[in-house]
């Protein structure tokens, strides 16, 4: 099964710990959505095809999925859907994505945010730190909670 990661599960070392058998398929983006922080990361549909969220796509097995379900607090904290990803090589694939079910009006911790920024960098997504990651952080701070 393909798993779409957009937050802390983009971190390869973290995925190796949580899902030892997971294999990185590659990177791509989700169109018509944007990254948001409500303490943790989530993706929200915008309907604007120019809004894009960079993602890492993993091949996982059933054991990995159960590990992720536990870690993500499925089905209470996050739910699951199947979404389309536009891969960096031009192909398109569908995969499972976790979407936040419980909104917490709080920005991410500095360590959580820095880990995602490091994952972006390691995956070659440096430009998206300024265009996607930092604006998501700014929106979370503007919702009224100081970091």
The reply to whether the predicted model has a pTM over 0.75 is yes
Rg of the chain over all Cα atoms, to the nearest angstrom = 14
- Please tell me the distance from the alpha carbon of residue 68 to that of residue 144, in angstroms, as a whole number: 31
Query: How does residue 5 score in pLDDT terms, banded at 50, 70 and 90?
Result: very high
The domain of 59 spans 2-142
Phi-psi group of 38: left, alpha or beta (phi > 0 → left; psi -120 to 50 → alpha; rest → beta): beta
Q: Which of 34-43, 61-70, 138-147 has the lowest mean pLDDT?
A: 138-147
CATH label of the domain that carries residue 121: 3.10.490.10
CA atoms within a 13 Å half-sphere pointing along the CA-CB vector of 114? 3
Q: What is the pLDDT of residue 32?
A: 98
DSSP state of 56: E
Q: Would 147 be classed as within a structural domain? A: no
Q: What would the pLDDT profile of 86-132 be if each residue is shown by its tens digit?
A: 999 999 999 999 999 988 888 999 999 999 999 999 999 999 999 99
Q: Is residue 72 part of a domain?
A: yes
Q: Is residue 22 part of a domain?
A: yes
CA atoms within 13 A on the CB side of 23: 4
Alpha carbon 116 to its chain centroid, in Å, reads 9
Number of separate domains in the chain = 1
What is the mean pLDDT of the segment spanning 41-51? 96
In a domain, 82, yes or no: yes
- What share of the chain in percent tops pLDDT 90? 93
């Amino acid at each position: 099964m393909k798993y779409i990661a957009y937050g802390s599960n983009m971190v390869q070392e973290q995925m190796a710990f949580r899902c030892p058998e997971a294999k990185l398929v590659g990177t791509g983006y989700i169109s018509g959505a944007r990254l948001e922080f409500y303490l943790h990361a989530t993706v929200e549909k915008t309907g604007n095809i120019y809004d894009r969220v960079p993602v890492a796509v993993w091949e996982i097995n059933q054991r990995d999925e159960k590990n992720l379900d536990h870690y993500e607090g499925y089905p209470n904290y996050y739910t699951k859907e199947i979404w389309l990803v536009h891969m960096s090589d031009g192909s398109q694939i569908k995969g499972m994505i976790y979407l936040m079910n419980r909104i917490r009006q709080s920005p991410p911790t500095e360590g959580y945010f820095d880990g995602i920024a490091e994952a972006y960098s390691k995956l070659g997504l440096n430009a998206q730190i300024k265009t996607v990651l930092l604006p998501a952080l700014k929106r979370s701070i503007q919702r009224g909670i100081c970091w």
